[in-house]
Amino acid sequence: MIRTATKLSCWNARRHRPTMKIGCAAYSFRQYLTSGKMSLEGFLEKAVEMDMDGVELTAYYFPSTDDDYLYTLKRQCYLLGLQVSAAAVGNRFTDPDPGERAAQIEYVKDWVDISVKLGAPCLRVFAGGTPEGHSEAEARQWTIDGLKECAEYAAPRGVLVALENHGGITSTADQVIDLITSVDSEWVGVNLDTGNFRQDPYGSLARVAPYAVTAHAKTEIPKGSDDKEEADFSKIVGMLKTQGYKGYLSIEYEAAEEAMTAVPRFAQMLNSLV
């Protein structure tokens, strides 16, 4: 009888668990991290204060990638009850110089290794734009080649490579889907950024959502070619639920209001929806 009650209790708890987790990208507090007013350790404390499930740790803000520092950061996350949901780099697969492209691939591989040390199951990457004097077809092939090489390196290390829709040759849903399906690796997916599609933003998000392995939640969404408006997260969360997405919604805050007040409020709203 006790076993039956316990099983029912566990079943009911699982049924009512949120379908997604809420996290925060360190990038949201970039002005503090770059000015020295906040450290990554301080960002972790802030994430706990905001009741986040996890954090995305962006390469730009690491004072060191020595093992001692990485493992100290990992230990702090564990003791604070935070998961490192992802690491993130600002690479460019579309550099026209072959030597620089090779260096960019090595940079991503280095961060695959860092992700392993941090316990991050996912690494956000960029593609890049079409360089002057070159065609989009060339940039596309360079990106496919780069993603394939990085995926081959990341797979045996258990790290997903997450390509963000971040302008350039990932500006549209068609471009992103083409890249992902051309790479054709179970270790390459999309970091679905809710604020980066300018053409039919909600429709584009719905089309790319099946390929998402992690997601950035932005408070605003493009409206036309230049403007922005408040994003409808009831619609976005519903769309992700329809696709069976159960990963992270990591807040990447870029709006005008002060992050210290806006991010906690946004997190509360997201938690009420998931």
* Mean pLDDT of the region 129-145: 98
The answer to whether 85 and 55 have CB atoms below 8 angstroms apart is yes
Q: Mean pLDDT across the stretch 92-117?
A: 99
Note the Cα 230 to chain centre separation in Å.
20
In angstroms, the Cα distances linking 144 to 127, 163, 193, 225 are 9, 11, 20, 28
Name the average pLDDT for the chain.
Answer: 94
Is pLDDT above 70 for 202? yes
Indicate the pLDDT class of residue 225, thresholds 50, 70 and 90: confident
pTM of the predicted protein model: 0.92
Q: Note the pLDDT tens digit of each residue in 15-72.
A: 445 689 999 999 999 999 999 999 999 999 999 999 999 999 999 999 999 999 999 9
Contact indicator for 204, 194 with CB cutoff of 8 Å: no
Give 20-273's CATH code, choosing from 3.40.50.300, 3.20.20.150, 3.40.50.2000, 3.30.70.1560. 3.20.20.150
- Phi then psi for residue 82, to 5 deg, are -105, 140
Average pLDDT of 187-202? 98
Report pLDDT for 8. 33
Each residue's pLDDT tens digit, 77-87: 999 999 999 99
Q: Examine the pLDDT at 9 and tell me if it is beyond 50.
A: no
What's the pLDDT score for residue 17? 57
